[in-house]
């Protein structure tokens, strides 16, 4: 072993680094793979463990739209987009109404551009800046994604790089169930990772650091009912192993938790196919109506908070109404392509026929569409819900897709600092223990309202990346404030 990390997480330098099995155990083969690759780049040895044999298509990273914020990136500069960490931080504060952890938010905003540039230049992820529409809450085009706009492509790329690295091993299926610490009691640093195999056998792997990249607790029904009662009845659309393992391990060792009521919901899960329709439909001008055909709010406030609004409507379901223009504009998204291929959209030449096909009241549906057409045509003002933006008026033929609310992932977890160290009750790092993504407390503030597109992947990839930097002592990043 190299022993390079002794500079950052000492005082255990007195112990011969060759006594450790590996430098870092990463629990979770989603966004945690970014941490594994970064650690290997720093010359550290890494073991990745994951309980899901189908992690390439079964975890939340693979189910995402692969949108990663990068405030001040080279793609933005090339496109003439004025942005930087300060502006991004202001957007986070505005969307969360000032409830997000300002220290963690500032740290993630600062590393967001270096992160996406490293993904492209250091790991060869073919990223591009999204310019064809803007997600709610982002005041600048700062989301970067892969061509298919699907997390499975992003995760597959990270995985292929991991497979080619001589410094990274994969142990799948295996579940991290605990960590072991040194003889100094609560002050002891991590010395081992306890993993459990499907047959119940357990093994302790000697290591000097563990990264909890196990996602949140969305698949744990009891925890969801306790912390997120407003969305507990909605469909869970996330990884089956997101049961709060990292949270439980951290709490067992004296860590604190925060923002446990935060989550990412989604109001655009197709009921028929259980595929993601996507909020690009709305941002291109689509509307959402309930089963009676009536709109019930400003859809552009955000897809996360709109999940609870949809859940409160009769039958907890509704319809996204669009036209051919919007349909075609959304085809770059793999999720939308899957929804179309599954036959989830119903088409009609006029609103009377669409009302018949959806079961909506014709008069209510016509009024809803008329409101959209009036504001889109005027291009100024706002409707009765406060919505100010429609990209273009809806024109026949029309399409509708029945949608239900969903819980995608939780946004609260273990309290961490900007370098992903898990903090104890006194605010001190638990030496050798890191957390990222849904296992960490995140930057979405309270409830669902504070979620910005990318708030899932930025902490998942960014905190994992920072954990590797901290473990190696290479925590400096370029300040891209502009």
| Superfamily of 6-221+411-472 according to CATH | FAD/NAD(P)-binding domain (3.50.50.60)
Tell me what the mean pLDDT of segment 218-240 comes to: 95
How would you class 60 by CB atoms within 10 Å of its CB: exposed for 0-12, middle for 13-18, buried for 19 or more? buried
pLDDT attached to residue 379: 74
pTM of the model: 0.88
Task: Decide if 179 contacts 210 (C-beta within 8 A).
Answer: yes
Least Cα distance to 287 among 262, 312, 306 occurs for: 306
CA distance 31 to 438: 10
**Which of 34-48, 134-148, 342-356, 463-477 has the least mean pLDDT?**
463-477
What H or E segment, with its residue span, contains residue 27?
Answer: strand 24-27
Q: How many CB atoms lie within 10 A of CB 53?
A: 10
Q: Half-sphere exposure (CA, 13 Å, Cβ side) for 296?
A: 22
Tell me what the mean pLDDT of segment 41-67 comes to: 95
CA distance 58 to 478: 34
Tell me what the mean pLDDT of segment 133-148 comes to: 93
Tell me what the mean pLDDT of segment 144-167 comes to: 96
Tell me what the mean pLDDT of segment 137-147 comes to: 96
CA distance 327 to 167: 45
Helix (H, G, I), strand (E, B) or coil at 40: helix
State yes or no: pLDDT of 13 exceeds 70. Answer: no
CA distance 438 to 411: 6
Task: Decide if 372 contacts 325 (C-beta within 8 A).
Answer: no
The ranges assigned to domains in the chain are 6-221+411-472, 264-407
- pLDDT-derived band at 479 (thresholds 50, 70, 90) equals very low
pLDDT attached to residue 477: 46
CA distance 459 to 309: 26
- Which tens digits make up the pLDDT trace of 93-121? 999 999 999 999 999 999 999 999 999 99
- Which tens digits make up the pLDDT trace of 302-337? 899 999 999 999 999 999 999 999 999 999 999 999
What H or E segment, with its residue span, contains residue 115?
Answer: helix 102-121
More confident residue, 136 or 459: 459
- Which tens digits make up the pLDDT trace of 426-446? 999 999 999 999 999 999 999
pLDDT attached to residue 80: 97
CA distance 180 to 25: 12
Residue whose token pair is 């993504």? 437
Domain 264-407, what fold? Answer: Flavocytochrome C3; Chain A, domain 1 (3.90.700)
pLDDT attached to residue 185: 62
More confident residue, 1 or 294: 294
Give the β-pairing of 421-423 and 263-270: unpaired
Mean confidence (pLDDT) of the chain: 92
State yes or no: pLDDT of 5 exceeds 50. Answer: no
CA distance 242 to 156: 19
Task: Decide if 191 contacts 180 (C-beta within 8 A).
Answer: yes
State yes or no: pLDDT of 481 exceeds 90. Answer: no
- Which tens digits make up the pLDDT trace of 77-90? 999 999 999 999 99
pLDDT attached to residue 380: 77
332: tokens are: 């770059």
State yes or no: pLDDT of 250 exceeds 70. Answer: yes
241: tokens are: 């192993």
Tell me what the mean pLDDT of segment 226-235 comes to: 93
Q: How many CB atoms lie within 10 A of CB 274?
A: 15
CA 244 to chain centre: 16
Q: Half-sphere exposure (CA, 13 Å, Cβ side) for 315?
A: 13
CA distance 409 to 411: 7
Give phi and psi for 15, each to the nearest 5: -85, 135
State yes or no: pLDDT of 399 exceeds 60. Answer: yes
* Beta-bridge mates of residue 424: 255
State yes or no: pLDDT of 480 exceeds 60. Answer: no
pLDDT attached to residue 8: 33
- pLDDT-derived band at 152 (thresholds 50, 70, 90) equals very high
State yes or no: pLDDT of 365 exceeds 90. Answer: yes
Which bin fits 316, alpha (ψ -120 to 50), beta or left (φ > 0)? left
CA distance 55 to 152: 10
pLDDT attached to residue 133: 82
SS (H, E, C) 358-425: HCCCHHHHHHHHHHHHHHHHHCCCCCCCCCCCCCCCCCCCEEEEEEEEEEEEECCEECECCCCEEEEC
Sign of CA dihedral 113, 119, 122, 124: negative
Task: Decide if 139 contacts 91 (C-beta within 8 A).
Answer: yes
């Amino acid at each position: 072993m190299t022993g390079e990390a002794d500079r950052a997480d000492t005082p255990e330098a007195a112990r011969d680094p060759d006594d450790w099995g590996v430098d870092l155990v990463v629990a979770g083969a989603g966004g945690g793979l970014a941490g594994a690759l970064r650690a290997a780049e720093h010359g550290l040895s890494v073991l990745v463990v994951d309980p899901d044999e189908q992690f390439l298509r079964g975890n939340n990273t693979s189910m995402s739209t692969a949108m990663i914020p990068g405030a001040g990136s080279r793609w933005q500069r090339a496109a003439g987009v004025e942005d930087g960490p300060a502006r991004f931080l202001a957007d986070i504060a505005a969307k969360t109404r000032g409830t997000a952890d300002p220290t963690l938010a500032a740290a993630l905003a600062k590393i967001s551009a270096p992160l996406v540039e490293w993904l492209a230049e250091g790991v060869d992820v073919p990223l591009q800046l999204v310019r064809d529409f803007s997600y709610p809450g982002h005041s600048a085009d700062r989301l970067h994604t892969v061509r298919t706009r699907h997390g499975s492509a992003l995760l597959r790329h990270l995985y292929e790089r991991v497979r080619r690295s001589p410094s990274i091993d994969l142990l799948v299926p295996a579940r991290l169930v605990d960590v072991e610490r040194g003889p100094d009691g609560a002050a002891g640093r991590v010395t081992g990772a306890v993993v459990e195999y499907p047959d119940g056998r357990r093994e302790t792997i000697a290591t000097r650091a563990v990264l909890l990249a196990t996602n949140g607790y969305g698949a744990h029904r009891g925890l969801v009912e306790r912390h997120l009662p407003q969305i507990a009845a909605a469909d869970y659309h996330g990884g089956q192993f997101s049961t709060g393992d990292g949270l439980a391990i951290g709490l067992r060792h004296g860590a604190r938790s925060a923002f446990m009521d935060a989550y990412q919901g989604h109001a655009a899960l197709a009921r028929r196919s259980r595929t993601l329709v996507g909020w690009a439909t709305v941002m291109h001008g689509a509307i959402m109506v309930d089963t009676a055909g009536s709109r019930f709010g400003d859809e552009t406030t955000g897809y996360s908070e709109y999940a609870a609004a949809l859940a409160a409507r009769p039958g907890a379901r509704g319809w996204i109404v669009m036209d051919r223009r919007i349909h075609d504009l959304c085809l770059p998204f793999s999720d939308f392509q899957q929804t179309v291929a599954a036959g989830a959209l119903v088409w009609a030449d006029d609103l009377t026929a669409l009302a018949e096909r959806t079961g909506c009241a014709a008069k209510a549906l016509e009024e809803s569409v008329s409101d959209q057409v009036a504001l889109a045509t005027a291009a100024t003002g706002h409707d009765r819900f406060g919505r100010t933006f429609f990209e273009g008026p809806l024109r026949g033929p029309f399409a509708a897709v029945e949608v239900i609310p969903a819980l995608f992932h939780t946004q609260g977890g273990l309290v961490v600092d900007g370098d992903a160290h898990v903090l104890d009750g006194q605010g001190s790092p638990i030496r050798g223990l890191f957390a990222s993504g849904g296992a960490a407390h995140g930057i979405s503030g309270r409830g669902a309202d504070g979620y910005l597109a990318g708030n899932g992947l930025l902490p998942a990839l960014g905190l994992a990346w920072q954990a590797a930097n901290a473990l190696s002592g290479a925590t400096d990043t370029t300040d891209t404030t502009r």
